[in-house]
Chains A and B, each alone.
Chain A
Amino acid sequence: MSALLKKDWFGLGLVLIFGSILISLFKPAFISPFNLYVLMLSVSLMLVVAMSQMIIIAIGQMNLSVGAIGGLVAISFTGLMEVYSMSILPAVLIGLLIGLACGFINGYITVKTGISAFIITLATLYIFKGMNLGITEAQPFYEIPEAVKFFGNAKIFGPIPYLVIIPIIITVLMWILMNRTSLGRYMLAYGNNVQSSELIGISSTKIVIYAHVISGLLAAIGGMLVVCRLQLGTPNIGDSWLLPSFAAPVIGGAILAGGKVDVIATAFGVILVSIISQALVIFKIDPFFVQIFLGFMILLAVFINRYREYREERRTKVFSDE
């Protein structure tokens, strides 16, 4: 029991359960199958995005270009299918390849120059988003194959959408990666203390590049999932990812300075954020109040989860010294 109490996700889990019960007492529609379906969809999409950022937080860096990569892949994916009439599978593969390449560029430049990833990804954010706009000239692609649309909308059974399959697999794989593989452990070690892990013999090059490549791949998957969901490839996909991508891991107890992330707690963080924004709609909050509520909720959520590690967090910085 006490081991359970120590887990990052425990407090969040409680908040989620009690919050959901409370909401459904007031608004029974909250647990209607359709609402659960909608909730699962929004969680699925954000989950992938949050994981994409989380792995970079793990190594103590930031990836500002997650949204730009997601957007670039989304329009490439749909563009290939619409303009070049490519079939789905090769388009998906090329999409993944683009994500991988973007991630590799981020990681390679970061580790080879020693410049903060924040700066590098700020620059590549412009580059990737610029390519996106240059290619599309702000025009969406509409020709999405039926199979893709189906995947984005159909339900497996009950309220469970097909779309959750991939995010669930990703979450499980991420958990294994961060908790049961050397690569994941080395990433965390690196995030904890760069100098020490280098002295131990952990290769920075490998760790940083792998983390960014995985981040790029996840962002790519996120972009393509959004295409399935929206059933069109608009150049704006990814524009709104940045803040939620940080909010979920951080609400889940991640320390921005690196070395501490929790996959399950991050997932719970995503669910919490989704429930909050849904609750704002369900309770018909006056649009002029929505922003204010959202702000206080974020603060409250973090505060509840953070209270017990108040001391450790007190003065940790976003960026570790190098």
Chain B
Amino acid sequence: GHGVTKVALVPGGPHPYFAAWEQAGLDAVEDFGLGKADYRVPAEWDLSQQNELIESLVGQGYNAVLVFPGDAVGTNKILGELDDAGIPTAALAGCVEQPTQAKFCFGTDTGHSAYLGTKELIKALGGKGKIAHFTGFLVDPNTTLRINAVEQAVSEAGGGVEIIQVIADIDAYEPADEKINAFMAAQGSEVDGIVTTAWVPAVVAAQALTNMGDKRIKMVGIDHDEVVLKAIKDGYVHGTMLQNPYGQGYIGSYVMDKVRQGCEFKADAPWKSTAQTDQFIDSGTVFVDISDVDTYVMAMRGISLEILETFDSTYLNCPS
């Protein structure tokens, strides 16, 4: 008795990472019989723009919203208002901080992913060396989480590894190009490894290593930009921490429909906890390197199907 579910999938702004959500939404409509599952992108990366878009989506009759939080704290307010208006929401790809009225967070634990990536890098370096960390906007709380996670991984390496430089605020290609190349020029001979924890720095650093023809420096990137994947195949980049945007969109839409049909989350659901929330479901993050870079799509799909198969029984109590 809740009518058809119309899900809106709202990213933080125009960005290639989220592109897979569009197909994921369409597939979910097909496979699960939703009314709609549309990918709706704010015109700019801007919390207010995102809020405005979400507010207007309610006007257009969407009754469930999956959102990549424009801000881990700031997005809570609007999610609360949607919830009060009877529209269930969930955080997708990134989490909002608790307390929140979002039903759950389905995505990558950003801190953990940075931690794992650094671990992989340290492993590749054989447990010692000097590393640099390139990351995104400082004012994004995730950036602080990532910086801390990288530090944590390094501190666990037992003194053999040292972070010689952190470069932040490079979420645009041109400043990133300038700063990363300046870094290579100044410290290129000293540094042994690079970990990047944001999309743009990963692309630019991969490109820089490729251009320099440098296979000595080990790099662990993030996400699945073609440049990064190609650099892995060519041996310039050690590997990347993949996330699962398709799975997020596909399963997320499915769950929203379930929630709207009256399903409740089990009291003893096996939530994971992150620095931000303790109602977290991992959409899967895997490290790929040259050995499995060609088959990563299959791997991700496997993870998604696995989550989906057991989702109802693990997490939900549905009215019969």
Contact = CB atoms under 8 A, between A and B. Distances in A.
Interface of A: 27, 29-30, 32, 34-35, 37-39, 41-42, 45, 130, 133, 137-140, 142, 153, 226, 229-232, 234-237, 239-241, 274, 277-278, 281-282, 284, 287-288, 290-291
B176 to A, nearest CB: 9
Contact of A240 (B166, B174, B226): B174
Nearest to B189: A29
A32 B190 CA distance: 14
Given A138-B41, A277-B179, A284-B164, A34 B14 contact: no
A68 to B, nearest CB: 13
B16 A138 contact: yes
A281 B14 contact: no
A287 B172 contact: no
B165 interface: yes
Contact of B181 (A32, A42, A232, A288): A42
B305 interface: no
Given A38-B181, A237-B173, A230 B204 contact: yes
18 contacts: A38-B181, A38-B185, A41-B181, A42-B181, A130-B43, A140-B225, A142-B227, A226-B173, A229-B177, A230-B177, A230-B204, A231-B211, A236-B172, A239-B174, A240-B174, A277-B178, A281-B179, A288-B138
Secondary structure call for the B interface:
helix
Secondary structure call for the A interface:
helix
Contacts of B169: 287, 290-291
Given A34-B188, A281-B183, A274 B178 contact: yes
A287 B138 contact: yes
B172 A239 contact: yes
A42 B15 contact: no
Given A34-B185, A240-B175, A281-B183, A138 B227 contact: no
Interface in B178-226: 178-179, 181-188, 200, 203-204, 207, 211, 225-226
A130 B41 CA distance: 13
Nearest to B17: A138
Most buried by A among B138, B183, B186: B186
B214 to A, nearest CB: 11
Given A237-B174, A239-B174, A241-B174, 18 more contacts: A29-B186, A34-B184, A35-B185, A35-B186, A38-B185, A138-B14, A138-B19, A139-B19, A140-B16, A226-B173, A230-B173, A230-B177, A230-B207, A231-B207, A236-B173, A278-B182, A281-B165, A281-B186
